[in-house]
Amino acid sequence: MTSTELPAAPRTPGEVEFIAGDPATGLLLLCDHASNAIPAELAGLGLPPAELERHIAYDIGAAAMTRAMAARLGCPAVLSHFSRLLIDPNRGLDDPTLVMRISDGALIPGNRHIDAAEIERRVARYYRPYDAAIDAAIATAVAAGHPPAIVSLHSFTPVWKGAARPWHVGVLWDGEGTLSKLLLAALREDPGLIIGDNEPYAGGLPGDTIDRHAHARGLHDSLIELRQDLIATPAQARHWGERLAALLPGCLRALPARSC
C-alpha cells in the first residue's frame, strides 16, 4: 500500500465509495463492478457463498486496482458497492441483462421470478445512487474548468465457456476512441504483453456507463479490462494499478481539449 492509499471503509450494500481527488488531473476513474455485496435480507440471492466469490458477482481485483490508481494519480474515483447480480450499473435500464437470471452456468434463485416492482426497487437503491455519484463527480470537475476523461476499470475471467483468453489487458472503445488508441499504443510498448483491442469483447454497448456519462457529454473515455488471474491478490492489483497509472498522464496530455 502506498503512503496515500487507504483501505476501503466498511459500507452497506448500495452505499457509493467516492475517492476525492484533484479535478485538475483531468481524469475520473470508475469501477462499476467493485463489490460482491448483497444485503442480508436477500440471503445471497439464494446462491452458496462460493458462487459469490466468482466473476459472476463482481470484477475480481478491479476495486483494489482502481484505488491504487487514484492514490498514485491523485484523481477522483467512484466505485460501486453492490453485486452486479443485484442489478448491473454497466447496463442501460432497458437492457435485458440488467438483472441476470443465469450467469456463466449459475442459476440465480433470487432473480428467477423477479418482477418489475423489485427491479425498480433495486434501481432506486443501487443503480441510481451510483449513477448520481458519477454525475456529481463530473459536474465538480466541469465547474472547476477541467472536463474529465473517464476511465472505467474492469476485469475478465481467464476462461469463458471452456476457451482460454490469452490477453493480459483489453482496451475497449467505441466511436472515435482517441484515449483508448493512445492507451493501446502505450501498452504495446511492452512486448511481453498480449493486448486486446476491443477484446475480450467490443466496447460499444448502448446505455452502459461510458455511454451514459462520457459519450452523452462528449468526454474522452476508455474502458480497461485486466485478466483476473493477474490482479487476484491485493499486491497484484496494486501493481497493475500503479502500472496503468504510470501510462495515463502521457495519454491524457496527448488528448485534444474537450469542453462540457
Residue ranges per domain, the chain?
Answer: 17-253
Average pLDDT, the chain: 93
Percent of the chain with pLDDT over 90: 86
CA atoms of 246 and 257, how far apart (whole Å): 21
Percent of the chain with pLDDT over 70: 95
For 176, residues 6+ apart whose C-beta sits below 8 A from its C-beta are: none
17-253: what CATH class? alpha beta
The confidence score (pLDDT) of residue 154 equals 98
User: pLDDT tens digits for 82-111?
Assistant: 999 999 999 999 999 999 999 888 899 999
For the cut 70, the answer to whether the pLDDT of residue 3 exceeds it is: no
User: pLDDT tens digits for 16-45?
Assistant: 999 999 999 999 999 999 999 999 999 999
Q: Which residues share a beta bridge with 27?
A: 149
Cell of 125: 437503491
For the cut 50, the answer to whether the pLDDT of residue 4 exceeds it is: no
* CA 244, 156, 71, 240 torsion-angle sign: negative
Q: What is the mean pLDDT of residues 171-184?
A: 95
CB 25 within 8 A of CB 74: yes
pTM: 0.94
User: pLDDT tens digits for 45-87?
Assistant: 999 999 999 999 999 999 999 999 999 999 999 999 999 999 9
User: pLDDT tens digits for 212-250?
Assistant: 999 999 999 999 999 999 999 999 999 999 999 999 999
Cell of 246: 504510470
The confidence score (pLDDT) of residue 87 equals 97
